[in-house]
Structure 1
């Protein structure tokens, strides 16, 4: 499906692959948005705001260079939430082990928000999935850190990678846990496109 002036405001190779998987043609756009949870900001509001900020920042950047453009920008963000606490990307090995220790043997939520924006509106869709980890030993956590995979991942793991072996059960959208909920993203794009044509 060809989408008019579609841009992806993300450098994530996983999101690029997922969007390509459902036949969306797009151009990758680099945006700079501060990813910092505000005081008293709930996790669903936080991830939704980040996705919206990325999409709108992309639109603003494109209109700044080409005022007559009519871009459609997709922004997305994924967070890992355990017992109401947002687990960000690890700052070091100790931080990664701290997060993996929380997730070990427990359920947690993965929230992915997708935002689609043009110069008139911004629609946001939030998808929440539940992931169950088996018990993970400290040695396994240390070995996993040494692979380099957890370094830039929310919650210190990538379900599509080595960490898939820690997952005993998932309820919800697998692709959303990876970084982009395919069904909801496709529906959002189609609804947005239909609205454009009216």
Structure 2
């Protein structure tokens, strides 16, 4: 099964994880990293915040690619109503892991779609439950350097997956791009089509 896009596509991210996920659709796209800073807006709900930030990223990249459809995304981890951003140092990373150990937290990924004809956002939420994490394992994981570029201080697709007891929702939401939701949006809007003849574009 192959697909064809009706627009030029740009992913507003330099994340290798999002690049790999979007590549699974098998359609051509470019990447253009947004320069929008990731900041917390305390008066907004996490799902509203993550959608707004995804849209700001998409709009920033759209300003340089006005002939394209832009996909922007942002992922946050929340626990007990607080957003856990990418840890700034080892102490904060360990604080995050201690708080999440043996508990259930939420991962929200907002996705924005921006072109000359549309401006829309969606959000996907997944619940992740951690096992009790031995302190020695926390220290070794932090020493590996893996937590520092990831929301909540762990990567489910890397060694951080060792902490996971269960998930409820879309695994790819935790990785950084809910691919099924992205595809459904594009398909429902008529922006992506299944090609005919076993993958050959129609004449």
With structure 2 as the length reference, what TM-score do the two structures score?
0.89
Q: Secondary structure at the match of 2:97?
A: helix
The one of 55, 73, 77 equivalent to 2:58 is: 55
- What stretches of structure 2 of length at least 5 have no aligned partner? 193-203
1:7 is matched with: 10
- What stretches of structure 1 of length at least 5 have no aligned partner? 64-69
The one of 105, 109, 130 equivalent to 1:108 is: 105
Of the structure 1 ranges 118-127 and 160-169, higher mean CA displacement relative to structure 2 is found in: 118-127
1:162 is matched with: 159
With structure 1 as the length reference, what TM-score do the two structures score?
0.91
Does 2:55 correspond to 1:33? no
Q: Distance in 2 between matches of 1:194 and 1:27?
A: 17
The structure richer in helix per residue is 1
Q: Distance in 1 between matches of 2:27 and 2:57?
A: 19
C-alpha displacement of 1:194: 4.7
Say what the alpha-carbon RMSD is for the aligned residues.
1.4
Question: Runs of 4 or more off by more than 3 Å in structure 1?
Answer: 192-195
Q: Distance in 1 between matches of 2:28 and 2:173?
A: 19
Q: Distance in 2 between matches of 1:184 and 1:75?
A: 13
The one of 120, 125, 128 equivalent to 2:125 is: 128
Q: Secondary structure at the match of 2:125?
A: strand
C-alpha displacement of 1:37: 1.3
Is the 1:107–1:130 contact (alpha carbons within 8 Å) kept by the matching residues of 2? yes
1:67 is matched with: none
* Aligned length in residues: 189
The one of 82, 90, 93 equivalent to 1:96 is: 93
